[in-house]
Amino acid sequence: MKMSQLFGRTLRDRPSEADLISHVLLLQAGMIHQVSTGVYSYLPLAWKSIKKIEAIIREEMDLAGAQEVKLGILQNREIWKQSGRDEIYGPDMLRLKDRRERELALPPTNEELITETVKTVVQSYNDLPFILYQIQTKFRDEPRPRGGLIRVREFDMMDAYSFDADEDGLDLNYQKMISAYTKSFERCGIKTVIVDADSGAIGGKDSKEFILLADSGEDTIIMCPKCDYAANDEKASFEILRHQPEPAQTLESIHTPNQTSIEDVSNFLNISQQKTIKTIAYMSDNEIILVSIRGDLEINEVKLKNFLKSKELSIADDEQLKKYNLIKGFLSPINKDFKTIIDHSITPETNYCAGANEYGYHHINVLLGRDIMPDSQLDIALAKEGFKCIKCPGNLVSKRGIEIGHVFKLGTTYSTSMNANFLNHEGNPTPIIMGCYGIGVGRILAGSIEQHADEKGIVFPKNIAPYQAIVVSLNTDKKEIKEAALKIYDHLNSNGIETIIDDRNTSAGVKFNDADLLGVPIRIVVSSRNISKDSVEIKIRTANDGELIHLDTVLQKTSQLLSEYK
């Protein structure tokens, strides 16, 4: 490709509408065009990279034994009602009607359609197992698009689904997909961390995310630097430091005027926050629930919502508290009128201070099992940096990251609701056991830039760079320079090295800046000074200086540098 003919234009100034470095550079390099909020067109350079990413993913999926399909985009809304997710997705999913008033959906994911498709084919255990995948453009009416390709409304994804007769088969395919993902990301030149994750609206049980660590990421990852423990903050757990057991004391009510926060109460009574109980009233759909946790910790609302299976979960407002005669700032876990949940940080061997549900009063010497009789006790605590690891003596650290891939063990969530059964060895109808696996193709492109970019621009890994080499032709007004540059350009391309040539009639400074901005791995400079010595200058994108090489060694040297380039 000649840059004089390339569709797209580099920008000298940083785009004012962009904040993340990947968004800035993709716009500045003329690789994407914004269609509307959260919707982008890929221009030629970006599309070449996207196609390379897709090719890598396809190769690894095929090697894992998966089969590619192409599902329809518009779907019958009835299958979403059947699975129960029509309401769960709410306004994120676009719904529409055709000219015959049939209800359709433009879905953000394909569990329903793939299940509906498979159940028309699978009859018995002899038809299992298998894995199907596709790479398709999807749409989610994301309320807060941000960061260019990081969080968009229209996006390209590879989604795969495994179908098995038993849990052992699911475990095997789950590991196959984790391996295929790991190899795909390595070949794309990005580093990821595998973390335990929440399944969200997809459903299912075991779930892991592949996170590309980047300060610009919107996900918070809790990790242990001393072992392999890593989890999304929505899922992370930690080792709770506990008090020594103490003898039970008599429950008392004490006056605590205007002491409405945990910090206020602990200072007023001169006790540790670890010996207090924080109680918050939540509305789980239309039910009010009291949730208690040790005063020095915070509630993880994702864990709580998953346990309650709530469609909507929110902290009760003043009007709702008044309706149920609950006193803000003095809520009590000693309350048999409402469903109560407590975190496992609260133990029966400790005398706690807790609200009395009376304005200006708290209870002291509150005991679990004597005074607090919860409906449920479980881990609903939010893990944070500095907390103790659950797997080793290390302290947890917090990192930011971008979710690139996600794998789920769906089990029979969809096959049960949609009657996708097979006949087992005994001839009995049995729900197909499913797994679900997704990769954000556009996020790999953006994430790679977030991970590798420098002050000069994009630094593409060689396997996903739109071109492997760029020939920069200086002094283009001179015939011998133009001919020499074109000869190198043709020679490299004919030998399998994808090369672009900057043959534009512009200054050397602009050409060098654009070569760095575009992030092509190898730069070859053809100039009058060097050609007079039968030489050209060659350098890799990340090097400060180039080296002069003889014209006859350009192919050999370019191949060598590419083999060493990551």
- Alpha-carbon distance 290 to 282, whole Å? 6
Token pair, residue 222, equals: 């809790």
- Looking at residue 283, its pLDDT comes to 96
Q: Which of 6-15, 433-442, 450-459 has the lowest mean pLDDT?
A: 6-15
Mean pLDDT, residues 324-344 taken together: 92
- At 21 the pLDDT is 94
> Which segment of 44-58, 114-128, 242-256, 510-524 scores lowest on mean pLDDT?
242-256
Instruction: Specify the 3-state DSSP secondary structure of 330.
Output: coil
Tell me the pairing of strands 547-550 and 535-540. antiparallel
Q: Which amino acid is at 38?
A: G
What's the mean pLDDT in 463-484? 92
Q: Is the pLDDT of residue 423 over 80?
A: yes
pLDDT computed for residue 17 by the predictor: 84
Helix (H, G, I), strand (E, B) or coil at 178: helix
Question: Is a pLDDT exceeding 90 seen at residue 50?
Answer: yes
Please tell me the least confidently modeled range out of 84-88, 162-166, 312-316. 84-88
Q: Is the pLDDT of residue 197 over 90?
A: no
Tens-digit pLDDT profile for residues 19-36: 899 999 999 999 999 999
The answer to whether residues 22 and 147 touch, using CB atoms and an 8 Å cutoff, is yes
What pLDDT was estimated at residue 203? 53
Task: Say what the pLDDT of residue 200 is.
Answer: 61
Q: What are phi and psi of 484, to 5 degrees?
A: -65, -45
- At 268, the amino acid letter reads F
Residue 69: predicted pLDDT? 97
Return d(Cα 77, Cα 89) in angstroms, integer.
Answer: 12
Q: SS3 string of 200-264?
A: HHHCCCCEEEEEEECCCCCEEEEECCCCCCEEECCCCCCECCCCCCCCCCCCEEEECCCCCCHHH
pLDDT at residue 169 is higher than 70: yes
Mean pLDDT of 477-499: 93
- What 3 state SS string does 133-168 have? EEEEEEECCCCCCECCCCECCEEEEEEEEEEECCHH
- Please tell me the distance from the alpha carbon of residue 282 to that of residue 315, in angstroms, as a whole number: 4
d(CA 1, CA 448): 23
DSSP state of 505: S
Cα–Cα distance measured from residue 414 to residue 437, given in angstroms and rounded to the nearest whole number: 15
Rg of the chain taking only CA atoms, in angstroms = 30
> Using an 8 Å Cβ cutoff, are 429 and 421 in contact?
yes
| DSSP 3-state of 288 | strand
- Of residues 408, 515, 427, 531, the one with CA closest to residue 468: 515
Percent of the chain with pLDDT over 90: 85
Cα–Cα–Cα angle for 431, 436, 439, rounded to 5 degrees: 170
The phi and psi torsions of 399 (rounded to 5 degrees) equal -130, 155
Q: Token pair for residue 96? A: 């529409």
**DSSP element (H, E) containing 366:** strand 361-366
| Long-range residue pairs from 259-263, CB within 8 A, at least 24 positions apart, any chain | 259/362, 260/328, 260/329, 260/330, 261/329, 262/295, 262/296
Query: pTM, whole model, 2 decimals?
Result: 0.88
Q: For residue 60, what pLDDT band results from cuts at 50, 70 and 90?
A: very high
Architecture of domain 46-68+107-236+398-450: 2-Layer Sandwich (3.30)
- Mean of the pLDDT values across residues 504-519? 94
Give 256-272 pLDDT, tens digit per residue: 999 999 999 999 999 99
Does the structural domain 469-564 have CATH classification 3.40.50.620?
no
Task: Give percent above pLDDT 70 in the chain.
Answer: 99
Summarize the confidence of residues 295-323 as an average pLDDT.
93
DSSP per-residue letters across 442-470: HHHHHHHHHHH-BTTB----TTT-S-SEE
Q: What's the mean pLDDT when you consider all of the chain?
A: 93
Per-residue pLDDT for 44 more than 80? yes
- Does residue 335 surpass a pLDDT of 80? no
**CATH classification for the domain delimited by 252-378, as one of 3.40.50.150, 3.90.960.10, 3.30.420.40, 3.40.50.1390:** 3.90.960.10
**Each residue of 75-95: b (16+ CB within 10 Å) or e?**
bbbebbebbebbeebeeebbe
pLDDT category at 532 given cuts 50, 70, 90 is confident
Query: For residue 297, what are the contacts with CB-CB under 8 A and spacing of at least 6?
Result: 278, 343, 345, 381, 382
Instruction: Show me where the domains of the chain are located.
Output: 46-68+107-236+398-450, 252-378, 469-564
Q: In a 3-state reduction of DSSP, which class is residue 422?
A: strand
pLDDT tens by residue, 100-138? 999 999 989 999 999 999 999 999 999 999 999 999 999
Quote the pLDDT of residue 166. 96
- Mean local confidence (pLDDT), 156-173: 96
Per-residue pLDDT band for 204 (boundaries 50, 70, 90) equals low
